[in-house]
Chain A
Amino acid sequence: MAAIALRNLVKRYADDFLAVDDVSLDIADGEFMILVGPSGCGKSTLLRMIVGLEDITSGDVIIGGKRVNDKAPRERNLAMVFQNYALYPHLSVYENIAFPLRLAKLPDATVRQKVEHAAAMLELEEHLHRRPAQLSGGQRQRVAMGRAIVRDADAFLFDEPLSNLDAKLRGQMRTEIARMQRRLGTTTVYVTHDQTEAMTLGDRVAVLRRGVLQQCATPRELYEQPVNLFVAGFIGSPPMNLLPARLQGGRVELPFLSIPRPPGLVGAPEGKLLVAGIRPECFNRAESVDPAARAHGATFRAVLDVTEWLGNQQYGYVPFEAPADLRAQLDSLAADLDYEAREPQLVISLDPAARVAEGETVELWVDTAKLYLFDPQSGENLTRGTVL
């Protein structure tokens, strides 16, 4: 067990591509840290720098108080689970799990006892003498985890371990990983691009964009207090709605409504164009909102051009117009977030019980207390700390 500290880590490839840009992060002993971001944001590179498979251009990696920059992977005492599991196909499951112990030259009896303990924990006992090729995806995943937990490593590193599994198994393995980590209490760094994994597994989540650390916080804080447009747009599914907002006469003018200027908003001059962010669940149909709640929101009328009913959820889509300059801003953000740039539209979470016809004009209510305002140039959240 050990804490991991990253100090101003930089990774610049030979072709001058900056993969990791000045990342500093403190991972406490026993903490479950998630590195998340769209593809190409440097999260895997960062993980591989911690484990030693990637050279460090500058900065320090400190594990358990010791600088490990110049140590080979084998001297860092970390265990890693790879995306494709990287099981040794010529060895049995038993020998796969025993591999690190054999390298450490432990006596046979100790190896047997440790492998059997790990196998029991992961329910792999009856597969110990089979080859990896004969196992299912979930079983291979568990063997890879077995190989990680069998030696008492200082930390576990996971590189998108669930991305090769189907959706159902992924959910199951996710809880298994969480349970295992809680039980062993080992420091864990987990790379994923899946925000469900990020939100459910992590004690804290670090969001990266183009090699730069955006925000590192608990899942709840990321969701409720995003530092900038990128984090706001990345965390949450369906993503936060981003609308043009203009400050005028002490009010915020949005495409469908106008609300009083939030008291916490500082430093934004009159007439400035901002980006407003509202999560889909802050909307509802006006008639299904109870009157007491209606007071801290605003109502407006709009046409739902498409609705999606999922059983436990229902979403409605409302297209709107955005000024061209803001539109370009939002499109580039969408490209960063791996979304398709598309016509601006509001996504609205509706009461699943309500029957709404497509193309119907409805009266909608929005909880304006949960409206974020971002600076369109810097992306900074101007209302951070004021939205509940």
Chain B
Amino acid sequence: MRLRANLGLIIAACLIVMYALFPVVWMLMLSLKVDAQSPGFFPANWTLQNYLSVFRSGLFLSALRNSVGISLIATVLSVVLATFAAYAIARLDFSGKKLVLSMALAIAMFPTISLVPPLFEMWRTLGIYDTWLGLIIPYMSFTLPLSIWTLSAFFREIPWELEQAAQVDGATPWQAFRKVIVPLAAPGVFTAGILTFFFAWNDFVFGISLTASEAARPVPAALAFFTGESFFTQPAAQIAAASLIVTIPVIILVLLFQRNIVAGLTSGAVKG
């Protein structure tokens, strides 16, 4: 009985994993082909040439630099801001608290594409079109709501007495926050950080519409401009290789922090 149940579970798990991983494996195979047009799932001739050419092209390297820089800065700023905001929302009673929370939620529900034309116009007027800042700002504002909601759920679970105990023990409010509250909210901070990073890292809409050159264009957008070895070949294999390279950080992050992500997303849902 038990074995059978386990067997069913294993088969189901295998099916789901296959469904999820099939496109990734396909991309891997494509990226190892000499000729992207050649039929067949497995490459006829295996090669690493596509990866080499991706790294040799200046376009990809500058895009990678932009992606890493923009995503990291947006993540750090968003998490720091969200931590303070969520702490204030969880701990302080101020008028307009509901308004802040519902505004945050409203922003999260906006279709991103609808903001592109106004942002495009505004950024050009302000002179931050095609700069890192021009991308960091929309990434931050779109990830802040989720971060604030996740973090305020975390802060609300921390008993207020802990902070008061720290203050009686001789801590300044800032020390109490840093030494007691932040460590306890760390899983939430991680979750918020990782989700923000993913959003920024994977974004295509802002990346393609608010940039014009290598100065700020992130990888997902740059892939669309990929031309490959020569102008006349279809660069499918190189695009596959580049896509795989940018997927690697995401996979590593998920593997490292999957426990935190689950804890963060389910916090408040189940007590204890």
Which A residues fall within an 8 A CB radius of B? 51-53, 72-74, 78-80, 82-84, 86, 88-90, 99-100, 103-104, 147, 151
Contacts and interface: CB of A to CB of B under 8 A. Distances in A.
A86 B184 contact: no
B168 interface: yes
30 contacts: A52-B167, A52-B168, A53-B164, A53-B167, A72-B172, A74-B167, A74-B169, A74-B172, A78-B168, A79-B169, A80-B165, A80-B168, A82-B161, A82-B165, A83-B161, A84-B159, A84-B161, A86-B159, A86-B161, A88-B165, A88-B166, A88-B180, A89-B184, A90-B183, A90-B184, A103-B170, A103-B175, A104-B170, A147-B169, A151-B170
Contacts of B161: 82-84, 86
A103 B167 contact: no
B162 A74 contact: no
- Give 6 nearest A-B pairs by CB, closest first: A86-B165, A86-B161, A100-B169, A103-B170, A73-B167, A74-B170
A229 to B, nearest CB: 35
A73 B164 contact: yes
Nearest to B163: A86
A167 to B, nearest CB: 24
Nearest to A82: B161
Contact of B168 (A74, A83, A89, A104): A74
Contacts of B171: 74, 103
Contacts of A82: 161, 164-165
Interface in B176-190: 180, 183-184
Nearest to A90: B183
A88 B167 contact: no
A151 B161 CA distance: 19
Nearest to B160: A86
Main DSSP-derived SS at the B contact region: helix
B164 A86 contact: yes
Point out which of B161, B165, B175 has the most chain A C-beta atoms below 10 A from its C-beta: B165
Nearest to B171: A103
Contacts of A52: 167-168
Contacts of B183: 90
A61 to B, nearest CB: 14
A86 B175 contact: no
A99 B168 CA distance: 11
B168 A73 contact: yes
Contacts of A83: 161
A147 B169 CA distance: 8
Contacts of B175: 103
Contacts of A86: 159, 161-162, 164-165
Interface of B: 159, 161-162, 164-172, 175, 180, 183-184
A53 B168 contact: yes
B65 to A, nearest CB: 36
A362 to B, nearest CB: 52
A88 B170 contact: no
A105 to B, nearest CB: 10
Contacts of A147: 165, 169
Nearest to A53: B164
Point out which of A78, A82, A83, A86 has the most chain B C-beta atoms below 10 A from its C-beta: A86
A72 B167 contact: yes
Given A78-B168, A82-B161, A86-B161, 4 more contacts: A52-B168, A74-B172, A86-B165, A103-B169
Contacts of A99: 166, 169
Given A88-B180, A90-B183, A90-B184, A100 B162 contact: no
Point out which of A52, A74, A83, A90 has the most chain B C-beta atoms below 10 A from its C-beta: A74
Nearest to A51: B168
B43 to A, nearest CB: 50
Nearest to B175: A103
Nearest to B165: A86
A104 B167 CA distance: 12
Nearest to A75: B170
Nearest to B172: A74
Point out which of B164, B167, B168, B170 has the most chain A C-beta atoms below 10 A from its C-beta: B168
A53 B159 CA distance: 15
Nearest to A153: B168
Contacts of A51: 168
Contacts of A90: 183-184
A378 B165 CA distance: 41
Contacts of A72: 167, 172
A157 B175 CA distance: 22
A52 to B, nearest CB: 8
Contacts of B180: 88
A72 B165 CA distance: 13
Contacts of B170: 74, 100, 103-104, 151
Nearest to B183: A90
Nearest to B182: A90
Contacts of B159: 84, 86
Point out which of A51, A82, A104 has the most chain B C-beta atoms below 10 A from its C-beta: A82
A73 B171 CA distance: 9
A72 B159 CA distance: 20
A84 B175 CA distance: 21
Contacts of B172: 72, 74
A166 B172 CA distance: 35
A88 B171 CA distance: 13
Nearest to B158: A89
A86 B159 CA distance: 8
A100 B164 CA distance: 13
Contacts of B162: 86, 88
A73 B165 CA distance: 9
A298 B132 CA distance: 96
Nearest to B180: A88
Contacts of A103: 169-171, 175
B5 to A, nearest CB: 33
A63 to B, nearest CB: 13
Nearest to B167: A73
B161 to A, nearest CB: 4
